[in-house]
Structure 1
Amino acid sequence: MSARRVGWGMSSRVLGVDFSGASDAGRSLWLTEARETGDGLRVEDCYRAADEWGPDREDAHAGLRSRLTAFDVVGLDFPFSLPQALLDEHCDGEWAGLVEWLTLDGPTDPDEFASTCRSTAREHTGDGTASLRRETDLRRAALCPYDRMVQYQTFYGIRNVLAGLADDPDVAVAPMQDGDPATRVVEVYPAATFGWLGLYREGYKSDRRDRRATNVDGIEACSVDLGGFREAYERHHDALDSLAAVVSAGRVAENGRRPLHGPREEGHIYV
């Protein structure tokens, strides 16, 4: 397998996060901190959220929310928005309305959230289709944002993390918010990042340390200094996903790319 060459700018601090919406989210939520240098991207730290803020979901998410404002670009691994048809039905067609829907008078838990989305999707399509994907999901082979595999991440990611940033003038959640903020927060998807690099986008979890090692090698070949954390990335697939997240966040810091397709309010997966 061959990896694409990645160009890097200088000086920006970037954070990559493999997110979890589980009740003990801190146990599987990993963060990689890195900095751009003249020679590439250098990893400065890699750690589990539970070691910083404890395993409880609310504590881990609050800790993450407070820490990310110390970085220039942050890549978070969960869907930031919904398909436009669902936004039109429940959120006045806007991402800001989605934040209000999930924090004020909308669904109170991930199951109700997903059930409501499925019902709306069936009414919209008229043919029984319950799972709608955003344009960016289709482009990156990602799941529907309220699929059972990701509904907890989407619900709690928006409610517990993004909602607390939406009105911060120093933060922009891209591409829905623009400007020149101190911190830009972007949606990433490690599987798509690995796929873009020509590495294993699946089948590298569980006991497949050999495939994780291949992915680590591929990222290192893109001028990424692992900073002594290779063992963590090879042992823990969640840690490895946070490394992929920081690579994609670093690419945003380097070239400030904007979405190329799909409605802005649906969001965009940055790779």
Structure 2
Amino acid sequence: MGSGVIGVDFSGASAAGDALWVTEATQTEVGLHVDDCYRATERWGRDRESAHAGLVERITAGDVDTAGLDFPFSLPQPLLDARCGGSWRGFLEWVGSADGPADPAAFSAVCRDTAEASVDKRDLRRETDARRGALCPYTNRVRSMTYHGARDVLGRLADRADTAVVPMQDDAEAETVVCEVYPAATFGWLGCYREGYKNTDGARARREYNLAAVEDCSVAVGDHRGTYLDTHDALDSLAAAVSAARVDGGGRPTTAGTREEGCIYV
């Protein structure tokens, strides 16, 4: 049986493969069954270009119903209006063009300058970021994921007839739906730790708590329990898969803000 759902803890680093984790799972009559969990380096290579190209190939392989990716898919509407013709497609064209920002630092600088000129505030969040407790999509901590996620992944998916990036694209005829997820928000929805389960004192105990909460939602992790407990990035990919499975099952909230800004699905 093919894998119907994948969850991705994304990375935009130069060695993205080391931090990019994927959980593959199948929807069954009794819940979600984890089929595989792996680091991108193991399958596609360590460098960013190979890891991102491999991810796109996996998403479009034909056996994925829904893919949940952990990076911001778009920008706040005032920035889209000022820089991208008001649209998400304009955003993809901007970051993917030869005349666009050359790297994440340049991308962030232009966004901040544009935001300050437009609304007199440098770091803006989308409505969905405010709703889900996420960061500004071009802040220093997130800018590499937003820039490379849009340029290297979404830019390669947006024109495919068999793939739809929601909510920006109509998915009625798509074989594969691609959605934005945020593991911290997923864990928050489950009533467990949004933070403190990574590289801090007591982190493993918090990962155990979070994993138990996921399993209580009819998710069978099988032989991958040790991986999720040992590696917080792997656990985040599991949370991404849980949210992707909810989207696959019809669990889609009302979009906060404009459709062009996108939506974080939990």
Q: Secondary structure at the residue paired with 1:79? A: coil
Residues 247-258 of structure 1 aligned to structure 2 (within 5 Å): 247-255=242-250, 257=252
State how far apart, in whole Å, the 2-side matches of 1:227 and 1:120 are: 48
Correspondence 1:72 to 2:76: no
Aligned-pair CA distance for 1:262: 1.1
- Residue 178 of structure 2: aligned partner: 185
Please give the root-mean-square deviation of Cα atoms over the aligned residues, in Å. 1.2
Correspondence 1:138 to 2:130: yes
User: Would the aligned equivalents of 2:9 and 2:22 in 1 still touch at CA under 8 Å?
Assistant: yes
- Residue 5 of structure 1: aligned partner: none
Q: Which runs of 4+ in 1 moved over 4 A?
A: none
State how far apart, in whole Å, the 1-side matches of 2:183 and 2:251 are: 19
- Residue 42 of structure 1: aligned partner: 33
User: Would the aligned equivalents of 1:41 and 1:225 in 2 still touch at CA under 8 Å?
Assistant: yes
Aligned-pair CA distance for 1:125: 1.8
- Residue 147 of structure 2: aligned partner: 155
- Residue 167 of structure 1: aligned partner: 159
One-letter amino acid matched to 2:179: V
State how far apart, in whole Å, the 1-side matches of 2:254 and 2:111 are: 25
Number of equivalences: 259
State how far apart, in whole Å, the 1-side matches of 2:84 and 2:193 are: 37
- Residue 85 of structure 1: aligned partner: 78
Aligned-pair CA distance for 1:139: 0.2
The structure 2 residue matched to 1:94, chosen from 87, 92, 104, is 87
User: Would the aligned equivalents of 2:3 and 2:24 in 1 still touch at CA under 8 Å?
Assistant: no
One-letter amino acid matched to 1:90: R
Which digits, 9 at most, give the CA deviation of each residue in 1:136-190, with x for residues without a partner?
0000010000010000000000000000001000000000001320000000000
User: Would the aligned equivalents of 1:172 and 1:179 in 2 still touch at CA under 8 Å?
Assistant: yes
User: Would the aligned equivalents of 2:3 and 2:35 in 1 still touch at CA under 8 Å?
Assistant: no
Structure 1 gaps, min length 5 = 1-10
Correspondence 1:26 to 2:21: no
- Residue 8 of structure 1: aligned partner: none
Aligned-pair CA distance for 1:260: 3.3
The structure 2 residue matched to 1:106, chosen from 89, 100, 111, is 100
User: Would the aligned equivalents of 1:45 and 1:227 in 2 still touch at CA under 8 Å?
Assistant: no
Which digits, 9 at most, give the CA deviation of each residue in 1:227-252, with x for residues without a partner?
21000000000000000000000000
State how far apart, in whole Å, the 1-side matches of 2:211 and 2:134 are: 22
TM-score between both structures, scaled by the size of structure 1: 0.93
State how far apart, in whole Å, the 2-side matches of 1:15 and 1:242 are: 8
Structure 2 gaps, min length 5 = none
The structure 1 residue matched to 2:233, chosen from 216, 229, 238, is 238
Q: Secondary structure at the residue paired with 1:149? A: coil
- Residue 6 of structure 1: aligned partner: none
Q: Secondary structure at the residue paired with 1:100? A: helix
State how far apart, in whole Å, the 1-side matches of 2:254 and 2:137 are: 18
The structure 2 residue matched to 1:211, chosen from 168, 184, 206, is 206
State how far apart, in whole Å, the 2-side matches of 1:25 and 1:12 are: 23
Residues 222-233 of structure 1 aligned to structure 2 (within 5 Å): 222-233=217-228
State how far apart, in whole Å, the 1-side matches of 2:85 and 2:153 are: 21
State how far apart, in whole Å, the 2-side matches of 1:265 and 1:224 are: 32
